[in-house]
Amino acid sequence: MSAYSITEPTRRSKLVAGVLVALYAFVTLLPLVWIISTGFKSGPDSISYPPKVVFEPSLEGYVNLFTTRTRVGAEEFENLPTAETWYDQIVRDQGMVIAGPSRFGERFLNSVIIGFGSTFLSIFLGTLAAYAFSRFKVPLKDDLLFFILSTRMMPPIAVAIPIFLMYRELGLSDTHLGMILLYTGVNISLAVWLLKGFIDEIPREYEEAALIDGYTRFQAFRKVVLPQAATGIASTAIFCLIFAWNEYAFAVLLTSGTAQTAPPFIPTIIGVGGQDWPAVAAGATIFLMPVMIFTILLRKHLLRGITFGAVRK
Amino acid sequence: MPNPIDAAARATPPTVARRIRGLSDRAIAWLFVAPTIFLLLAINIFPLIWTVRLSFTNYRANRPNEEVEWVGLRNYIRILTDDGIWANMQTTAHFLFWTLFFQVILGFALAWLINRKFKGNDLLTTLIVLPMMLSPAVVGNFWTFLYQPQIGLVNYTVELLTGTPANSFSMLGPGGYAPWSIIIVDTWMWTPFVMLICLAGLRSIPDYIYEAAEVDRASKWRQFWTITVPMVLPFLMLAVLFRGIENFKMFDMVVLLTGGGPGNETLLASIDLKREAFEKWRTGYSSAYAIILFVTVFGLASIYVKALNKVKER
């Protein structure tokens, strides 16, 4: 851009714009800051009125998130040996003792297994298909975008009805494999479409040169195209991962125990008389953090991913 | 006498020669595409066909051994003549209209401001975008805490700003605020989506158009309405299409915020569908319901895409 241009906004308008956007950012981030800070509040602090902005940090929420606790009789409580660890102590301070670990760890691990499993599968199959769509004449190629859009028009519950019946027949209900296949099926059309966009941008001449040098098509794909498409593959992978990570409707309808992921689990964390908000907030923080980090890493390709490649920068 | 094999080899085009060394391009194309097609058939097409089939029966998934009867169009007729379902459709339309309205206004305004390229606009954009990447279920659940009548941050802020006592109203309880509460959360989450797309639109307008307008002494106001708005419109319409489809089938965030309540005030079509399918177990009936919803979105989206293409061509 030239040093001076008549279309360049004036200094004052830049300042006003900056202040207004910063104000919006402040308001919009407040709920997120509130989630994170509630995770470090003690039970009474979290529900005090007026809401506490300054408070004494406590790990109660995190300890409660990972443990189940029971109340014991007053006499028995008095006679307990002194708490051995810091987390024992935090639970004692609430007048309870630790009964065992909670299910949060398992649910989080399920999210990781299903998220990464389906992402790997979507990317593996998606890259192959995207290459074929990009380089060869394949029937139905032009209908692909509309197809992707139309698969997204089905309400998740509508898809869940036949999948529920199908999985019941096949014994895939509430299994990791079932969820991985389902999320892959939902993600793959998006993955193919995004990856096709990235591969289209790689000049064909590179492969043609490799083919002339005696590479087979497959070698050219592996040694020339894949390294070139690495960034595109990585950002597509993150989109697939975020979808699977955040998904709720299928997870709540098709899993109940062994394969349940964190989103249906977190809202069920309850304490004495209602939801245990510091624990819920702690769980939410642990769960949302990876996505926040990925979003920041991904910011250059964000637009392309959320519009299914319809808008590119 | 020339060797016929040599002659044939000379006449063979390079692509054929290449095929001999590995799989043919055609075979590779099929090999690469087949697993994806198979998966799409299994997870997308086959269930859709099954749903259509079920929609003509009285099947109940919780009684798999009961005899299934064909009921023809009865499910469809019952749904289309049910007042309750029309009420849900209106609730959905209300939600759809206002979320799109606020998101378009706020999203466009934000993009327009960010496009001034002030210092730190990249950082602020990234921060603003965060809410839309998060799990709607986890976020919706947490908003019930922010909406608590006594202790919630929202009521407290309202008291602080307007003096209305925090315990005098409830955002999710009776009193008619609940439909607006879900609109607020959705707007909070998805305004950045519209903003990002508008920003791409604004950045696609070349500077020289404004420079030409400036030379012609067109006012800033006129430039805004004759250059900025028409050029961003196709982008904005695309954003509305995506948000419209998503919000028509909105489920996770609202189910955790209100569960459809109080009463049926926030009972969106998707939530009602879930109750019919997985609580009342009227599988056949809810399949017909699902097909009706799908056809509605599909029809509306197709008309809309036609309009969008017209705008693009202009």
- Per residue in A57-104, pLDDT (tens digit) is 889 899 989 988 888 888 888 888 887 888 888 888 888 888 888 899
pLDDT of residue B251: 92
Does the CB of B216 have a partner CB in chain A at under 8 Å?
Answer: no
The minimal CB distance from A266 to the residues B37, B141, B203 is found for B141
* Interface touch B36/A48, C-beta < 8 Å: no
Minimum Cα–Cα distance from A268: chain B residue:
B141
HSE, CB side, 13 Å, CA atoms: give it for residue A66.
11
CATH number for position A197:
1.10.3720.10
What is the pLDDT averaged over residues B34-39?
89
What is the pLDDT averaged over residues A215-223?
87
* Interface touch B142/A35, C-beta < 8 Å: yes
Does the CB of B153 have a partner CB in chain A at under 8 Å?
Answer: yes
Minimum Cα–Cα distance from A14: chain B residue:
B118
Does the CB of B154 have a partner CB in chain A at under 8 Å?
Answer: no
**φ, ψ for residue A271 (rounded to 5)?**
-115, -150
* Judgement on whether residues A70 and A116 belong to the same structural domain of the protein: no
Global ipTM? 0.87
* Judgement on whether residues A174 and A116 belong to the same structural domain of the protein: yes
* Interface touch B113/A21, C-beta < 8 Å: yes
In chain B, what residues touch A4 (CB-CB under 8 Å)?
Answer: none
Domain boundary among A101, A133, A156: A101
Give me the residues of B, 24-43, that contact A with CB < 8 A.
25-26, 28-33, 35-37, 39-40, 42-43
Pick among B30, B53, B105, B135 to test the A interface (most A CBs inside 10 A): B135
* Judgement on whether residues A92 and A111 belong to the same structural domain of the protein: no
The mean pLDDT value of chain A amounts to: 86
The minimal CB distance from B207 to the residues A7, A152, A158 is found for A7
pLDDT of residue B20: 47
Q: Is the pLDDT of residue A183 over 90?
A: yes
What is the pLDDT averaged over residues B267-292?
93
The minimal CB distance from B136 to the residues A49, A51, A248 is found for A248
* Judgement on whether residues A74 and A215 belong to the same structural domain of the protein: no
Confidence of residue A313 (pLDDT cuts 50, 70, 90): low
Domain boundary among A77, A101, A125: A101
Does the CB of B21 have a partner CB in chain A at under 8 Å?
Answer: yes
d(CA B103, CA B98): 8
Pick among A24, A186, A265 to test the B interface (most B CBs inside 10 A): A24
* Judgement on whether residues A79 and A119 belong to the same structural domain of the protein: no
* Judgement on whether residues A111 and A247 belong to the same structural domain of the protein: yes
**Which of B176, B262, B146, B266 minimizes the C-alpha distance to A275?**
B146
- Per residue in B182-215, pLDDT (tens digit) is 999 999 999 999 999 999 899 888 888 888 998 8
DSSP state of B43: I
pLDDT of residue B88: 93
* Interface touch A299/B47, C-beta < 8 Å: no
Does the CB of B182 have a partner CB in chain A at under 8 Å?
Answer: no
Minimum Cα–Cα distance from B49: chain A residue:
A162
Q: Per-residue b/e over A101-114, b at no fewer than 16 CB within 10 Å?
A: ebbbebbbebbeeb
Does the CB of B125 have a partner CB in chain A at under 8 Å?
Answer: yes
* Interface touch B114/A313, C-beta < 8 Å: no
Q: Is the pLDDT of residue A5 over 60?
A: no
- The answer to whether residues B258 and B182 touch, using CB atoms and an 8 Å cutoff, is yes
- Per residue in A112-167, pLDDT (tens digit) is 999 999 999 999 999 999 998 888 877 666 666 667 667 777 888 888 889 999 99
- Percentage of chain A beyond pLDDT 70 is 92
Confidence of residue A218 (pLDDT cuts 50, 70, 90): confident
Output the CA–CA distances (angstroms, integers) from residue A155 to B150, B221, B272, in the order listed. 35, 42, 12
C-alpha angle B228-B230-B236 in degrees, rounded to nearest 5: 90
d(CA B254, CA B268): 8
* Judgement on whether residues A256 and A120 belong to the same structural domain of the protein: yes
Does the CB of B275 have a partner CB in chain A at under 8 Å?
Answer: no
Please give the CATH superfamily to which domain B83-313 belongs: MetI-like (1.10.3720.10)
Tokens of B125: 């954009």
Does the CB of B293 have a partner CB in chain A at under 8 Å?
Answer: yes
| Total count of domains within chain A | 2
Does some domain include residue A275? Answer: no
Minimum Cα–Cα distance from B35: chain A residue:
A125
In chain A, what residues touch B136 (CB-CB under 8 Å)?
Answer: 246, 248
Does some domain include residue A6? Answer: no
Tokens of A163: 């999948």
* Judgement on whether residues A108 and A81 belong to the same structural domain of the protein: no
Structural domain spans, chain B: 4-54, 83-313
H or E stretch including A270? Answer: strand A270-271
- Cross-strand partners of B57: B70
Question: Range of A202's domain?
Answer: 104-265+288-306
Q: Is the pLDDT of residue B107 over 80?
A: yes
* Judgement on whether residues A255 and A130 belong to the same structural domain of the protein: yes
Domain boundary among A52, A69, A101: A101
In angstroms, the separation between the Cα of residue B175 and the nearest Cα of chain A is 22
pLDDT of residue A7: 67
What is the pLDDT averaged over residues B32-50?
88
Minimum Cα–Cα distance from B112: chain A residue:
A17
* Judgement on whether residues A257 and A235 belong to the same structural domain of the protein: yes
pLDDT of residue B270: 92
* Judgement on whether residues A243 and A255 belong to the same structural domain of the protein: yes
What is the pLDDT averaged over residues B240-261?
91
Does some domain include residue A279? Answer: no
* Judgement on whether residues A123 and A186 belong to the same structural domain of the protein: yes
The minimal CB distance from B113 to the residues A17, A165, A214 is found for A17
The minimal CB distance from A291 to the residues B14, B133, B283 is found for B133
In chain A, what residues touch B251 (CB-CB under 8 Å)?
Answer: 155-157, 248-249
